[in-house]
Amino acid sequence: MMWLTLLMAIPIIGTGVIAILPKKNEQAVKQIALTTTLIVLATTLAMATRFQRDNVELQFTEKYSWIPSFGINYALGIDGLSLVLIVMSTILVPVVVLAGWNEPQGGRWSVKNYYVLILVLETMMIGVFAATDLFLFYVIFEAMLIPVYFLIGGYGTGERSGAAVKFLIYSLFGGLLMLAAIIALYVISSSQGGATFDLAALSGLQMSSTTQNLLFLGFFIAFAIKAPLWPLHTWLPDAADSATPGTSVLLLGVLDKVGTFGMIRYCLTLFPEASKTFTPVILVLAVISILYGAILAIGQRDLKRLIAFTSISHFGFITMGIFAMTSQGHSGATLYMFNHGFSTAALFLIGGWMISRRGSSTIADFGGLQRITPVMAWMFFLAGMSSLALPGLSSFVSEFLVLVGTFTRYPVHAVIATFGIVLAALYILIPVQKALHGPTTPGNENLSDLNLREKIAIAPVMAIIVVLGFYPSPLLNVINPAASHVIAQLGFSDPAPSNGGK
Amino acid sequence: MNEVALQVGQTAAPEALLFWILAPLTLIAALGMLLVKKAVHSAILMAFVMIALAIFYIAQGAPFLGIVQIVVYTGAVMMLFLFILMLVGVDSSDSLTETIRGLRPIAITAAVGFGGLMVSLLSRATLGRSAVGVEAANSDGNVEGIAQLLFSTYVWPFEVVSALLITAALGAMVLAHHHRIQERPTQRQLSIDRFRKDSLATAAGLPAPGVFARHNAVDVPALLPDGSPAPASINASLKARGDVLDSSRFELGTVDTSADEEK
Amino acid sequence: MDAANYLYLSALLFTIGAVGVVVRRNAIVVFMCIELMLNAANLSFVTFSRINGDLNGQVVAFFTMVVAACEVVVGLAIIVTIYRSRRSASVDDASLLRR
Amino acid sequence: MMMNSTSIVYLIALPLAGAVILLLAGRRSDKWGHLLATALCASSFFVGLYQLSLMFNRPSQERPVSQKLFEWISVGTFKIDAGLLLDQLSICFVLLITGVGTLIHIYSISYMAHDPHRRRFFAFLNLFIAAMLLLVLGDSYLNLYVGWEGVGLASYLLIGFWNEKPAYATASKKAFVMNRIGDMGLSFAIMIAFATMGTVSFIGVQAAVEQTSTPVLTGIGIMLLVAAIGKSAQFPLQAWLGDAMAGPTPVSALIHAATMVTAGVYLITRSNFIFDAAPTAQLLVVIVGAITLMFGALIGTAKDDIKKALAASTMSQIGYMILCAGLGPVGYAFAIMHLLTHGFFKAGMFLGAGSVMHGMNDEVNMRKYGALRKAMPITFVTFGLGYLAILGIPPFAGFYSKDMIIETAFNAGGSKGIILGIVTLLGAGITAFYMTRVMILTFTGTPRWDEKAQPHESPWLMWLPMAVLAIGSATSGYLLSSNDSLVKWLSPLFESHEEHHELLPPIIVSALALVMVAIGVAIAFLKYSRREIDAVAPKNVSIFTRIAREDLMQDRLNEAVFMRPGQELTKTLVKTDAVIIDGAVRAVGRLTIATGLSLRRVQNGFVRSYAAFILMGALAMIVAIWVVVQ
Amino acid sequence: MSFISPTLDYTLLSPILILLGGALIGVLVEAFISKALRSTTQLTLTIGTLVLSLAQLWKIRNEQSMSAAMGSVVIDGPAILLQASILIIAILSILVIADTDQFTALAAALPGSEEERHSIRTGNQVTEVYPLTLFAISGMMLFPVATDLITLFVALEMLSLPLYLMAGLSRRRRLASQEAALKYFLLGSFSSAFFLFGMAYLYGYSASVTLAGIRESVVGGSGNDVLLLLGMAFLSIGLLFKVGAVPFHAWSPDVYQGAPTPITGFMAAATKVAAFGAMLRIYYTVFANAEWSWSPVISMIAIVTMLFGSFVALAQRDVKRMLAYSSIAHAGFLLSGVIALNKAGLDASIFYLFAYGVATVGAFAIVTLVRDSSGEVTDLNRWRGLGKRSPWVASAFAGFLLAFAGIPLTSGFIGKFSIFSAAYESGAKGVVFAGILSSAVAAFFYIRVIVLMFFTDPIQDGTSIEIPSVLTRFSIIFSILVTIALGVFPAPLLSFITTLATFIR
């Protein structure tokens, strides 16, 4: 059964249905969109149950010739890493649809367009994680920019068009560098027994170390822009500031993961030697991202920008985990991707509700929400706790795994990065104090608490945050084989306990 | 010319004499084309160059081309040029001062560099085969030889060129052909119209353009007694071209009488 | 006397024609300079025809003349049209299109 | 092989269930929430008692039991089970936490009766109990870490319970952040342990200690100490504790006196195997303890806020425990003993303070008290018993535990022993001074009440727990030390290589201590009992008093060293990000456009220029050919 | 010396002959059909001719011949492909050209004269554009298949002369339009003079005017290379001028802007195919063995062209000028296909030419639709909020722009990818890198237009979207469909090209 193609097709079918609906009938459009995303979710979960978790090979593979002259295939397949990210994406989309029920109203275009964009984006999100053909991956990687661009520019607030352009230009620039590297890979592959874009075949190519280093950089810079790594991050705060909360969730929660996903799937597998060469630099950048993102988050006055900067810090952790080259670091990073999706989703969605109710995103405009809108306030608090990686909540497991995994090989980096957890306490508790605590600020008195729809939307996110904090095994069991496979392929094994040299 | 490779063998002395007399003259004429102010002089010089070239053609065993050059080029094409020059104004002359900044040095550099390098390069060229001379090819007669090629080997481009000629004719027609909009009124008709039409306001003729005291060019409207400009005083096609000066400048404002008061 | 001399002459005439296009402002003179360049090329063709000992070069020169004639028709028509609209044959006056 | 148990988890599950139910049920549980919470806490206490009884019935080596719940994290060799470990040490804590916890639940029913959010308060209390139990029951450092941060969270929530007051909200944030600094130490310890030993469970680490080099152990030890410093408000991370008094008084009693703040002591005693093998770390522990002991005591002398005075005292008393725990195998048991007795008497006193505040319209300034003895006799008695206990007057609890510590300090040997002995003795004296001051200012002398104040005794729901704790304060010392019962109970856990080098005989130490106490009490009487107390704190006081009132400048120091530079750094970086990094990006954009604009000028509209381009292009080509031909 | 009677293979030449025949009939139509019927007749005739020619081309798609016209014309795979591209682009363009509102009512009338007004009133039309276009198309068809220098030169002039004329036929801004014609004409003849001069040297070098003869000399020539190098350089100038490569590009922004927009679209798309077609043939077959000499120069030009086009496009405020610079940049990209000098490069170039041509026609067709009361609005600032007023038109335009920018799932991406990979394969890494860099810059201005259309609010200045005629609409829809289809399923076309595209020598 073509599970992955089916997954990608369902949203497209939904798009078709929405397209034939009259523009006026917004409710029907929304309901169809929600139903479609829920069907996708159900199908994903059905697929996930059939996933053989100890099998490190790609599963649910499909392969059809697409452009034979270049050896390009429509090839899909997933391993634990992709599965986890696909599951995350398909959970987040219905949540976003439900949570942002009234979001598209403020847009430049119709509600219908909004959901068409969202559904198209969902197809691409599944495709980008499932692609096992480099060309297919790149096509989706770039094409994804377009719906997001229109989502930010068309339905955002404030300086939305500027932010959308900045996002697009940044991403396109990275994408073009990657294209150069892809072209080089293609040419090299065709000189070594047949042009191909098959991931497995490409990873066996012979390259001089200079070539490998250059190509690695081409890929890595593209991914580092996506998963914003210092100093390529400046598009993110602007984009998050302007986008609707729902878009921000998809942008930070899913799209940016393509960056970190790509680092594992493409940078490490295709260029093992170059990965090793660049590891020291990347780790330093990751550590800078962690601290820099955190410090800047502390310095923000705007709630959305603050959340964006926390994500920069979190992506620093993920990158660090990936390049620590230990199974703990890798599994932790993958798990972190999943968890970050939900904690950021929670922060953005609840923050978005706060902002839309108050009509301002300046933190100082809030105050005393805990008494006016207790449910919303406590949900925000819980999301914040997840973001600062409180033990017992999901992010802790991943963050700690990353730190431990890094420490065993790169103790200094891990130690410096750990200071991030103190900064995390500050960047979460400062907005909590200003927005939720303290006396009620004038203008807030009549804010309404979450309604039933919003509660239903946020409930699964919260549940995942709490449950995975205590019981991450189901996910880890899926992630571990894939993670150790990558590590082993690179020729790394976890450092043995050193006993301090005794 | 020392080891130059393009050895064709020494040609007959008369040809050399012809060349050394005519070639400098040709060059001078060509240079003159650039340096004379009047376009018509350029055209005359150009005609001279063409005739000189025709002579060279004949000298080099291409009598047919030489004749065509004189008949078609000098006779037809150059005459067309002159014809158009007449149309445009035979006295029209260029100022030779350069108005585009930086172009003069570029032109001089290009002239010197291009010419010098071309000569230098040609002097280095070798062919690696000996020159043949056109006598053998002309054995059946130059015209016949050319005809042979034209109507067998090059029949396709020859046919296609006809399309080119049609294009040119069509193009010239598109750009030049006027449709007769209406019957041109006869003198008689005009005269009748002048007096028998709607009003007699213009029976004495339209006002002449220009204001003597301030500005008397044809593109300046005359002023009516109330000081406002008279639109009818301007030629319609000037108006259509937008070449009319803004008439408001010439409206009578408050008359400056300060000088009078002083007295 | 070397046939190559014709080639030098041709090159120089071509150069003069090319420079003329750049320095002259009257559209008709500019166009004549272009004709000069074509003629220079023809001279080369005829000379090479002699060196190579075949008539192909002469045929090319013949074609060139025909083509040049067509070009002249079209070109002069354009120049006349623009002169009629603008009352000027200076190429420098035709510089509306720049931004 | 350790015995398995299936019932340990209920200790945690019961209060946790309470917290979850109360939080999710929301307002619907307002009516019965506090009762449920109290009941669940109490049942947890009874489970604890049941476990104790089971333990008694087993021979001492088989007493520890464990329970594996599920596999929590497993990646490569990093395998952490959600596992619990109940041994002689943790059961002490379990009983203290649930016992004192239950009493404080009961107390709070009445104390918080008029608060609209009482239910939430109880939910947080239950959450705290659950987290604290997880802290002491976790079988690995990582499990402990979960509880460790969990109590931090509960503490944060409870300190900030009345967060509509900005100062309280700030206090809670401060507590959390400073705790996190300590937590970072714990993270480091865990990371080092995993990297060097490959395990982070207590048993595993204990087994691996022998193969591990001393520098590593010292590192782990120091990092654990950092954790303890943060959680137990030791020098230099002590500043949050005073502010933490912003929380409701029962919270101060439970979390910031009896249980959470002593978690540092638990961590050090739990990690005895590491510290035993890392003398440098151990020495640092002692030094930190000694400094904090004096630090807290000195602050205590200057505080007019009854809760802050008690908080300072807590800090100081925990300093005693930490010091003692740093003295190695001989000290662990005594540290625990003091911890337990302190739990009783300090909780009792805090509840007493709460009772006083309850009767005095939430007034905390002792200068506005006076002569409350008659108005609230029960409070006076229970507080008084606690007072006697903390002073170390025989036969009250403090006498046994504190004397042991002083004795152990003297016995530490060499100049270290002498210094530590003197410090602990001095501390005892100062403690006597400031506690007597508290007693005098609060209960004796003339009333300095506000007009509106109508002091009255608290209802029985409040005084009953106070009474129970007072009884504990009076008797627990004797019960725990008779027959060395606690020491023997704990001894299987601690490697004891007894090396007694008694500097002074116990009796002399006791005598010295009592003399110091007497001196302290006497000075306090002389200073506060014989003349009128100002209702407003006098301004023209010595520099020392002023420094002491400012908590020995700790906040100013933090502000100057960390906060200000931190804020500056943040501001600078925010600016840098906008101006330099984003600026560079924008500059590239602008440069691109500028390049386009300047190149556009080439297109000047003149056909002759265009022809010149072509000619120049041709010239360039010819030049290239010429170069090639050369 | 006896006369060899010439033989022409009329089947193979039929596509071109049909066009010439159609054009001649068109001329007759001008003479004999009444004004009222003329424009319909011409349109039908022209489309019929083009379709017939295309059908004929399809029939001979697998033919190969060097001697179709006494060795003047070669018919091979690339020839068929290029001719087909030109024809398809021509059909699309004709549909847009059919919107006669773009053309002056009477070219001979003075701008603003009573005569002109009268012509407009009476609905007079310059229907001569149809035969002129057909002549231009025949020239374009001939250009890439010519195998001797004479045919090459004649074809070059034949495609140019009608374009010179048509550039001056705009209905609005006639002075600018005439200026465009003058500039195009002067510079065009200037560059053909270079072309001719280059031919002379090649003839001198090889003693042959056929490409095959020149090739032989290049492969096994005995003299030195001076004449070859000069010949190549001057010939290249002519070709590079036609494709609009820097520094021979300067005509294109002015001419694109001044010419009637449908002609601009036709010219930008079809001329490029023809010129690159000829260039590919010449470089791949004739000059291939002298690669050492021209490759660095062309690489240099390609790099400069890409960068210059992209950077200057950024600074444009007029949509037609912007597209002109964009086409300059694309000429640079296409040159990398010439540099590649391998099969992949040939395939990629042909694909790119077709994809780019179709998108270009579509883009310019859309430009014709944005008007105010006085005609087309090409000022970008007045395109603000177009997405709001007519989302479909704006979306289609955005689609073309994205294709130009080379965003995946558009034909532009596949084209860019294939051409760059071919260039990379041949070792021209610098060119590829410059291409990537300039693509990044180019993305800037394409996106700027999209932002203008979609993310800014419309200004009320009377700019409106003309409801497209059925023909224009068809052209646009077809173009956008092809653009997307070639982005998503390029395989059929690519493999078709791969099987066919081999130069025979």
**Per-residue pLDDT reduced to its tens digit, A292-334:** 999 888 888 888 889 999 999 999 999 999 998 888 888 999 9
CB contact under 8 A, C67 and E257: no
**Per-residue pLDDT reduced to its tens digit, D522-552:** 888 888 777 777 767 777 777 777 777 777 7
Shared domain for D536 and D574, answered yes or no, is no
Residue A251 maps to a domain: no
Is residue B3 scored above 50 in pLDDT? Answer: no
Is residue B224 scored above 80 in pLDDT? Answer: no
Shared domain for D416 and D474, answered yes or no, is yes
List CB contacts (< 8 A) between B241 and chain C: 85
* Chain B nearest-CA residue for E121: B181
Residue A349 maps to a domain: yes
CB contact under 8 A, A168 and E443: yes
Mean pLDDT of chain E: 89
* Chain B nearest-CA residue for D620: B114
**Per-residue pLDDT reduced to its tens digit, D335-349:** 888 888 888 888 888
- Quick check: E190 contacting D, CB < 8 Å? yes
CB contact under 8 A, D614 and E187: yes
Is residue B81 scored above 50 in pLDDT? Answer: yes
Is residue E390 scored above 80 in pLDDT? Answer: yes
CB contact under 8 A, E312 and D618: no
Shared domain for D594 and D459, answered yes or no, is no
Residue A399 maps to a domain: yes
* Chain B nearest-CA residue for D604: B100
List CB contacts (< 8 A) between E177 and chain B: none
Q: How confident is the model at residue B185 (pLDDT cuts 50, 70, 90)?
A: confident
Residue A488 maps to a domain: yes
pLDDT of residue E49: 94
Query: Mutate which of B21, B88, B90 to test chain C, going by most C C-beta atoms within 10 A?
Result: B88
Residue E436 maps to a domain: yes
- The size of the C-E interface in CB pairs under 8 A is 137
**Per-residue pLDDT reduced to its tens digit, E408-451:** 889 999 999 999 989 988 888 889 989 988 888 888 888 888 88
Provide the shortest C-alpha distance from residue C2 to chain E (in Å): 15
Tokens 């008949």 locate to: B71
CA gyration radius, chain D? 31
DSSP state of D491: G
Q: Could you give the percent of chain D with pLDDT greater than 70?
A: 98
CB contact under 8 A, D596 and E234: no
Mean pLDDT of chain A: 87
* Listed residue (C92, C24, B174) closest to E167, CA to CA: B174
Mean pLDDT of chain D: 84
DSSP state of E409: T
What is the rounded CA–CA span in Å between residue E195 and residue E216?
Answer: 21
Q: How confident is the model at residue B4 (pLDDT cuts 50, 70, 90)?
A: very low
Helix (H, G, I), strand (E, B) or coil at B227: coil
Provide the shortest C-alpha distance from residue D567 to chain C (in Å): 51
Residue E421 maps to a domain: yes
CB contact under 8 A, E237 and D614: yes
User: For E267-290, what is the mean pLDDT?
Assistant: 92
Q: Is the C-alpha dihedral spanning D325, D331, D336, D342 positive or negative?
A: negative
- Report residue A326 as tokens: 């230990």
Contact A494, A326 (CB under 8 A): yes
Q: How many domains does chain D have?
A: 2
- Report residue A235 as tokens: 């598009």
Q: Least CB-CB distance to B157: which of E30, E135, E151?
A: E151
Which positions 6-35 of C are in contact with B (Cβ < 8 Å)?
6-9, 11-20, 22-26, 28-29, 31-33, 35
Tokens 């740093």 locate to: D326
Query: Mutate which of D588, D598, D600 to test chain E, going by most E C-beta atoms within 10 A?
Result: D600
Which positions 321-350 of D are in contact with A (Cβ < 8 Å)?
none
Q: How confident is the model at residue B6 (pLDDT cuts 50, 70, 90)?
A: very low
Contact A252, A348 (CB under 8 A): yes
Residue A261 maps to a domain: no
Shared domain for D326 and D414, answered yes or no, is yes
Please enumerate in sequence order all residues whose Cβ is within 8 A of that of D28, keeping only pairs 6 or more positions apart, or say none: none
Residue D464 maps to a domain: yes
Q: How many domains does chain A have?
A: 1
Q: Quote the domain boundaries for residue A443.
A: 277-494
CB contact under 8 A, C95 and D604: yes
User: For E288-300, what is the mean pLDDT?
Assistant: 88
CB contact under 8 A, D619 and B103: no
**Per-residue pLDDT reduced to its tens digit, D303-325:** 888 888 888 888 888 888 888 88
Shared domain for D340 and D447, answered yes or no, is yes
Burial A418-446 (b: 16+ CB within 10 A, else e): bebbbbbbbbbbbbbbbbbbbebbeebee
Is residue D31 scored above 90 in pLDDT? Answer: no
Shared domain for D527 and D612, answered yes or no, is no
What is the rounded CA–CA span in Å between residue B95 and residue A45?
Answer: 84
- Quick check: E425 contacting A, CB < 8 Å? yes
Q: Least CB-CB distance to A438: which of D166, D571, D585?
A: D166
Shared domain for D315 and D414, answered yes or no, is yes
Contact E231, E294 (CB under 8 A): no
* Listed residue (E2, E343, E301, E285) closest to E145, CA to CA: E285
Beta strands in A152-298 (DSSP E): none
Chains that touch C (3 or more CB pairs under 8 A): B, D, E
DSSP state of E112: T
- Quick check: D190 contacting A, CB < 8 Å? yes
For the beta carbon of residue A46, count every other beta carbon within 10 angstroms: 12
- The size of the A-D interface in CB pairs under 8 A is 176
Q: What count of Cα atoms within 13 Å lies in the side-chain half-sphere of residue D379?
A: 29
Q: How confident is the model at residue B2 (pLDDT cuts 50, 70, 90)?
A: very low
Shared domain for D533 and D449, answered yes or no, is yes
Provide the shortest C-alpha distance from residue C77 to chain D (in Å): 18
Shared domain for D574 and D534, answered yes or no, is no
Q: Quote the domain boundaries for residue E168.
A: 10-500
- pTM of this prediction? 0.87
CB contact under 8 A, C98 and D604: yes
List CB contacts (< 8 A) between D615 and chain C: 18-19, 21-22
Q: Could you give the percent of chain A with pLDDT greater than 70?
A: 99
- Quick check: C28 contacting D, CB < 8 Å? no
Q: Do chains D and B touch (3 or more CB pairs under 8 A)?
A: yes
Residue A14 maps to a domain: no
User: For D477-501, what is the mean pLDDT?
Assistant: 74
Tokens 């301007």 locate to: B234
Q: Is the C-alpha dihedral spanning E287, E290, E292, E293 positive or negative?
A: negative
List CB contacts (< 8 A) between D616 and chain B: 106, 110
CB contact under 8 A, B33 and C20: yes
List CB contacts (< 8 A) between D612 and chain C: 22
The distance from CA D173 to its chain's CA centroid, rounded to whole angstroms, is 14
Residue E85 maps to a domain: yes
Residue A247 maps to a domain: no
Tens digit of pLDDT at every position of chain A (502 positions): 688 888 888 899 988 888 888 878 888 888 888 899 999 999 999 988 888 888 888 888 888 888 888 888 898 988 888 899 999 999 999 998 888 888 777 777 788 888 888 899 999 999 999 998 989 999 999 889 888 888 888 888 878 888 888 888 888 888 888 988 888 888 888 888 778 888 888 887 888 888 889 999 999 999 999 888 888 888 888 888 888 888 888 888 888 899 999 998 888 888 888 888 899 999 999 999 999 999 888 888 888 889 999 999 999 999 999 998 888 888 999 999 999 999 999 998 998 888 888 888 888 888 888 888 888 888 899 899 988 888 888 889 899 999 998 998 888 999 999 988 888 888 988 888 888 888 888 877 788 888 888 888 888 999 999 898 888 888 888 888 888 888 888 888 888 777 766 5
What is the rounded CA–CA span in Å between residue A389 and residue D149?
Answer: 10
Residue D216 maps to a domain: no
Which positions 564-623 of D are in contact with C (Cβ < 8 Å)?
600, 603-608, 611-612, 615, 618
**Per-residue pLDDT reduced to its tens digit, A158-211:** 788 888 888 888 888 888 889 888 888 888 888 887 788 888 888 878 888 888
Residue D533 maps to a domain: yes
CB contact under 8 A, B167 and E205: no
Which positions 589-608 of D are in contact with E (Cβ < 8 Å)?
589, 592-593, 595-597, 599-600, 602-603, 605, 607
CB contact under 8 A, B114 and D622: yes
CB contact under 8 A, A480 and D75: yes
Q: Quote the domain boundaries for residue D489.
A: 278-345+354-494+501-540
Please enumerate in sequence order all residues whose Cβ is within 8 A of that of E18, keeping only pairs 6 or more positions apart, or say none: E49, E52, E53, E56
Q: How many domains does chain E have?
A: 1
